[in-house]
Chains A and B, each alone.
Chain A
């Protein structure tokens, strides 16, 4: 079995005097997809933000390739891609400029590749239109264009299917499957009925999840 990319060991998180999860342990292996499930408010987004390194208010350990993540922050960030609720798209900039700004800190790619990635997400012809003139779904697609050119082995995706149309959802599912088959690891939350082979589940909000 291959080495886990990220391991959560006895994670516990409390928010507003409520225990969201406790003793949560799981491993994210290359070539696997983990779906984080649970009702609204059960801490799915919080868990994903903790995994991505945006939220530090947890106890327990996170191991990156077997070593404590805190000592390897830059290496971890180089190998992880996080897409949150807020897509990271500036309304005043065009999709092209947004994608360029998001990619430049990670990987230098020629304009042509970025242009094609935007075409690949169905934004052909919109590359130079300011994002505020695009629909919510189109704006999400700008962020999703990153997935087409991302080479990070670990993806953490929060509600990726939001505001995407049926064809888009199908294509995105294909992309995720293909990615997992190629050895990528993906953690997602979604209320969309995702049916993928070899999907692991992490369920929140059950049992002692609520500490009222």
Chain B
């Protein structure tokens, strides 16, 4: 190891901006994920398979699918997000990058927010993009396909943000899967009810602005509160490891 590096001790005021640090976290998560594409494809394949198997398993009739379609899509999306949650912090925890994240001199909840956003871009957003195709497959009509995508667009970030709390809390446990589901699914239920309800209302021609606004409120609530809870949960999990 060469020692020709001369580094002067820092003045305590020098610091990197929070936005830069958040971007660094976001970029690293995306890079890491794209180096291991099978982890990315897993939830997507799950989503597509569940939606494809439903007509085969239950009934391919148009009237049934129109009735159940939005529910099937929403449940599949919810479960596939749940499927990907365990990876959110697990690898970082195992290789020590999480320790370094917690020790960064920026507010931890903002770094956690950056991680949650990266998680949404990697799992939620692809689901939203796939939804129109699958929506047509289950015979959702014109307007309700658009509404379905809109509800998923608003709803999936909520799933990522809330899920991040559960993932952080169960980090120290060896088999976290079951507990994670038990913790998180009750919190997912309101999102699911409003998500499918909005699409149902749209397919009956009722106005949906109110329900969409409520989902927007969910998103705002999750955006402002979930990162704090996740950051606190991460500290606890690391403190006990």
Write the nearest CB–CB distance from B13 to chain A, whole angstroms: 9
A53 touches B9 (CB 8 A): no
A89-B97, A90-B28, A150-B7 provided; 16 other pairs, C-beta below 8 A? A56-B235, A78-B10, A78-B15, A79-B10, A86-B94, A86-B96, A86-B99, A88-B97, A104-B20, A105-B25, A119-B2, A144-B1, A152-B9, A174-B3, A175-B1, A183-B9
Residues from chain A with Cβ under 8 Å of B7 in the complex: 148-151
Judge whether A54 and B16 touch: CB under 8 Å.
no
Considering the complex, which residues of chain A in the window 88-108 have a beta carbon less than 8 Å from any beta carbon of chain B? 88-93, 97, 100-102, 104-108
Per-residue contact bits, chain B 1-43, to A (CB 8 Å; 1 contact, 0 not): 1111101111010111000110111011001100110000000
A-side contacts of B36, CB under 8 Å: 92
In the bound complex, residues from chain B placing their C-beta under 8 Å from that of A97 are: 28, 31
Residues of B close to A80: CB separation below 8 A: 103
Q: Does B204 contact A (CB under 8 A)?
A: no
Give B67-114 interface residues, CB cut-off 8 Å to A. Answer: 91, 94-97, 99-107, 111
Q: How far is the CA of A70 from the CA of B10 in the complex (A)?
A: 21
A-to-B contact residues, CB < 8 Å: 52-57, 74-75, 77-80, 82, 84-93, 97, 100-102, 104-108, 116-117, 119-122, 130, 141, 144, 148-153, 168, 171-172, 174-175, 178, 182-184
Say yes or no: A171-B3 contact (C-beta < 8 A), given A90-B97, A92-B32, A93-B35: yes
Is B238 in the interface zone, CB < 8 Å from A? yes
B96 to chain A, nearest CB (A): 3
The interface size bin for chain B is 35 or more
Which positions in B face A, CB cutoff 8 Å?
A: 1-5, 7-10, 12, 14-16, 20-21, 23-25, 27-28, 31-32, 35-36, 91, 94-97, 99-107, 111, 235, 238-240
Interface centre among A55, A86, A116, A183 (most CB of B within 10 A): A86
